[in-house]
Amino acid sequence: MCGIAGTFELAPGAVPDEALVERMTDALAHRGPDDAGLLVDPPLILGNRRLAILDLSPAGHQPMATADGALWITYNGEIYNYVELAEELRGLGRRFRTGTDTEVLLQSYQEWGEEAFARLNGDFAFAIWDREIARLTLVRDRLGVKPLYYTVARGRFRFASEIKSLLLDPAVRRKPNEGRLADFLARGLIDHTSETLFDGIHQLSPGCLLTVSRLGVGGQRRWYAAHPAAIRPVDVAATVRELFVDAVRLRLRSDVPVGTALSGGMDSSSVMTVASMLNRAAGAEPPTSFSARSDDPTVDEGVYIAEVVARTGGRNVDVFLADGDVVESVDELLWFMDEPFHSPAVYGHWRVLERARTEGMIVMLEGQAGDEVFCGYDHLLPAFVYTFLRSGRLRAAATTIGARVAIGRVGRRRAVIDAVKHLAPPFLRARRLPLWLGDKVGPTCAVVPGRDVRSHQRHLLGVSPLPAFLHHDDRNSMSVGVESRSPFFDHRLAEVALALRPADLLRNGALKSPLRDAMRGLVPDAIVDRRDKQGFSVDQASWVRGRLGDAIETTLADERTAARGYVRVPELHTLLAEVRAGGRGIDELWRAFVTERWLRIFIDPDVIDVPAAVQLRAGAIQAGDCVTRPVDAWGDAAATAT
């Protein structure tokens, strides 16, 4: 994984600003503490900060060129099937100078053009410069695991892995996108469109590409759309198990240490047990795992974590969290996030990855996206009831209502009422805006899935919550120089899951049945049979009663908060009192709090600068060390790299 940045001058004869792109690149130093590079080839400049994962030698330096110098790439991500692709390319007569997936990607594009993208199994965002036709092509992976942002200001096209890099250009406005700000404040939505919370700054959508030339900036063009596998598997459990094991196998490829994040849930437990199995088969020890822990037994997962550790025989590191830490660190974390985040749990995940890095882990396997791929959320049960009723499966519908009661979330009367409410058209199920939302926010985007399970599955993957989770996971991991990988991002798994029937996804009242069946015998039965889904959580209820609540109150009391007009402060003070007394509304309070902190960090200042705490994380490569590589010297540079 790396940080990428660049510029393209759209006006004829304009000269790109090398010093600016160098600053843009170095603002991403936390993403790539191992190396830095620039390619200067007017009207274009490409920048890269490298986190070395494969082929740790200088041969992996970026931007990287093909042997003939016709193509250059700056790349962030991993192509997990690079070994197989390299072998196929060797069969076509190609030779490699490095052991990197970067070179495999570059030569794949030179061999197959845009058709190469469909051959990639990985998480990636990259920019390829074709010198012969003077065209820049930006590409993002299928699910949007790796970020890529861009903007056009004063005839200049800028792009970068993170928004803060773009903000270093004085021509880029720092103005809130009030419509998307309303989406976040009202519903916690983020990354659900190509717009960002910054007016005029966009993200390249998942599975899309964008071309830039002196003719202008083309529109986003889709190269991949999530689709069901061509054939629904006959043996669902066997197919899911085979694909999942292979997805883990590919993601264990690394020239640096690999660890795992472990909660007591089905997804991370599956990752840990399969990774341990594969390591032992290769004669290696199980990966070290890292777990967020709490002194509150209602949110702590220690019992289930211990089950997995006992099964795998691995070493586990517990990370305990406190509310004082999040209060002291929220501004720093917001700096890395670029945009507000929906929950204090994001902070907990950040601390787990930070601890993993201090223990020497450069790559971390995680269980992200299992619930989105296999419909593992209990709030989807009314959608299953609707889908079963629609197909005449009355017994399955009744069993599903009973399952929701058995989980313990609601009583039978409430479960029946919710199922009946779900029969209403989608627009009638849109949540009302909160009373504390101010008058200044723009119109919200009422994104509501259809009533059936398939609509909800696509919504989870493409609208909410997965896009937001991907944003948080990328920033958390890259802020501490760690590459995060999840086997559930493997597109083959997602395509099989999209081909499954609702009765395959929920069987006998058990959500996520394909994964449970696939992992039985590997993952402890106590976890496979577990119905009380916890999710990654922190003790936020007690935090709000302590220092976090005090910080929220202080921020709300500041006259700047009310003056903006985005929230109604008196209503939020009332809500805070209710939450401190044990009522609901923590999520809404948090969103209002971090939005105000975000506005002060990114919108209010006259100058965007890197906080001192962030500079300490940047590593050994500083601005003056960035290597400038003029394109007319590519041959010498390539020789040096090898």
CATH code for position 186: 3.60.20.10
Burial class (CB in 10 A: 0-12, 13-18, 19+), 315: middle
Burial class (CB in 10 A: 0-12, 13-18, 19+), 257: middle
User: Which of 462, 494, 528 is the last residue before a domain boundary?
Assistant: 528
Containing H/E element for 65?
Answer: strand 64-65
Judgement on whether residues 585 and 503 belong to the same structural domain of the protein: no
Strand, coil or helix: 123? strand
**pLDDT score for 573:** 96
Strand, coil or helix: 607? coil
In a domain, 493, yes or no: yes
How many structural domains compose the chain? 3
Centroid of chain to Cα 314: 27
**pLDDT score for 592:** 97
- Give the pair of three-digit tokens for residue 209: 């590409």
Cα(151)–Cα(202) distance, rounded to whole angstroms? 6
Judgement on whether residues 216 and 251 belong to the same structural domain of the protein: no
In a domain, 388, yes or no: no
Judgement on whether residues 122 and 253 belong to the same structural domain of the protein: no
Judgement on whether residues 352 and 271 belong to the same structural domain of the protein: yes
In a domain, 502, yes or no: yes
In a domain, 7, yes or no: yes
Report which residue type is found at 103: E
Judgement on whether residues 470 and 577 belong to the same structural domain of the protein: no
Judgement on whether residues 514 and 599 belong to the same structural domain of the protein: no
By DSSP bridging, strand 64-65 and strand 216-217 are: unpaired
In a domain, 393, yes or no: no
In a domain, 204, yes or no: yes
Going through 264-373 in order, the beta strands assigned E by DSSP cover 289-293, 316-320, 363-365
Cα(254)–Cα(484) distance, rounded to whole angstroms? 12
Cα(401)–Cα(509) distance, rounded to whole angstroms? 8
In a domain, 424, yes or no: no
- The secondary structure of 150-199 as a DSSP string is EEEETTEEEEESSHHHHTTSTTS---B-HHHHHHHHHH---SSSSB-SBT
CATH code for position 354: 3.40.50.620
**pLDDT score for 620:** 30
Judgement on whether residues 34 and 182 belong to the same structural domain of the protein: yes
Cα–Cα distances (Å) from 380 to 123, 418, 431, in that order, read 28, 11, 16
**pLDDT score for 101:** 98
- Which of 87, 521, 538 lies closest to 349 in space, CA to CA? 538
- Mean pLDDT in order along the chain per 10 residues (642 residues): 94 94 94 96 97 96 96 98 98 97 98 98 98 97 98 96 95 94 94 97 98 96 96 96 98 98 95 98 98 87 96 96 85 94 93 97 97 94 92 91 78 80 74 87 82 95 96 97 98 98 94 97 96 70 90 95 96 96 94 96 70 41 36 32 28
By DSSP bridging, strand 64-65 and strand 44-50 are: unpaired
Domain enclosing residue 497, as ranges? 236-374+437-528
**pLDDT score for 606:** 59
In a domain, 415, yes or no: no
Q: Which residues contact 379 (CB under 8 A, 6 or more apart)?
A: none
By DSSP bridging, strand 483-485 and strand 363-365 are: parallel
Judgement on whether residues 355 and 503 belong to the same structural domain of the protein: yes
- Give the pair of three-digit tokens for residue 328: 């002291």
Q: Which residues contact 517 (CB under 8 A, 6 or more apart)?
A: 236, 237, 240
Cα(482)–Cα(56) distance, rounded to whole angstroms? 15
Report which residue type is found at 395: R
Centroid of chain to Cα 110: 29
Judgement on whether residues 330 and 205 belong to the same structural domain of the protein: no
Query: Which residue bears the tokens 């002196």?
Result: 214
**pLDDT score for 142:** 98
Judgement on whether residues 217 and 332 belong to the same structural domain of the protein: no
Judgement on whether residues 495 and 599 belong to the same structural domain of the protein: no
Judgement on whether residues 548 and 524 belong to the same structural domain of the protein: no
- Which of 324, 325, 342 lies closest to 598 in space, CA to CA? 342
